[in-house]
Amino acid sequence: MTRTRQEALDSYITDMLALEDHLEKALEGQIGDFKDEYPEVVPHLETIHAKTRSHIVTLNALADSRGGAKTGLAEAVKRAGATVAGLGAAVIDMLRSEKLPKDLRDDYTAVSLAAIGYVMLLTTARALDDAPVAEVAEQHLRNYAGDIMTLTQIIPGAVVRFLQEEKLPVRGDVVDDVVETVVAAWQSQAPDEAEAGSAPRRRSTGKPVGRRV
């Protein structure tokens, strides 16, 4: 059965709302879990969490304004959970046993999935001449692009912190070097950084994040 223009857009909006809902719950759980053990990473997660909650409010308002956009939401929530879990971001189980680096890796996976989801929503909205939906998709994509950069730059410090906790003879001074390498890797794929806007800017403090040892 051929979908209508509205049904095509509504399906993407529903999927994004379901994914954002899972991500919001995961971040909320991590913030509570990490506030004592890994306080240095909490502000970064709180920033992402605030954006995710804002996205949910915006998507709910958008769905309500479109009438049928929430049709099938319950099923979409289940699909989103299965998809994210299958990619390694176990957002359903808030009591995970993995250490900080893997948790942040899972966050990166989930945020990246959301970002490409918004690329698809943006493409669909522009192709079908729906400016309001396209505007929401573009803003949310820009928000998560920044969060992907942030996670990319704090994960090396989290890895070093975890290795320190295992009492391994690690060199903490490699964090800045790794971040610079990551930045260079992004830049090598962007012929014009100003135009591409995809290369993360170096913001490392040079200190591993996480629990002090």
**Does residue 162 lie within any of the structural domains?**
no
- Its pTM stands at 0.76
**Does residue 27 lie within any of the structural domains?**
yes
Report the candidate in 118, 149, 150 with the shortest Cα–Cα distance to residue 134. Answer: 118
For 87-116, the pLDDT digits (tens) are: 444 443 433 444 788 889 889 999 999 999
> Given this model, what pLDDT does residue 85 score?
52
For 146-192, the pLDDT digits (tens) are: 899 899 999 999 888 888 888 889 898 899 999 899 888 888 876 66
% residues pLDDT > 70 (the chain): 73
Report the candidate in 78, 74, 62 with the shortest Cα–Cα distance to residue 6. Answer: 62
**Does residue 140 lie within any of the structural domains?**
yes
Cα–Cα distance, 129 to 203 (Å, whole number)? 38
Domain that holds residue 69: 5-150
- Asked if residue 198 has pLDDT above 90, the reply is no
Spell out the residues 6+ positions from residue 100 whose beta carbon is closer than 8 angstroms to its own: 34, 38, 41, 158, 161, 162, 209, 210
- Asked if residue 75 has pLDDT above 60, the reply is no
> Residue 23 is part of a domain; what is its CATH number?
1.20.1260.10
**Does residue 95 lie within any of the structural domains?**
yes
- Asked if residue 72 has pLDDT above 70, the reply is no
Report the candidate in 45, 167, 157, 58 with the shortest Cα–Cα distance to residue 107. Answer: 45
**Does residue 209 lie within any of the structural domains?**
no
**Does residue 213 lie within any of the structural domains?**
no
Report the candidate in 212, 149, 206, 146 with the shortest Cα–Cα distance to residue 183. Answer: 149
> Given this model, what pLDDT does residue 191 score?
64
**Does residue 57 lie within any of the structural domains?**
yes
Q: How confident is the model at residue 70 (pLDDT cuts 50, 70, 90)?
A: low
> Given this model, what pLDDT does residue 84 score?
54
Average pLDDT of the chain? Answer: 80
Cα–Cα distance, 82 to 19 (Å, whole number)? 10
How many domains does the chain fold into?
1
- Asked if residue 127 has pLDDT above 90, the reply is yes
For 9-41, the pLDDT digits (tens) are: 988 898 899 899 989 998 999 999 899 888 999
**Does residue 135 lie within any of the structural domains?**
yes
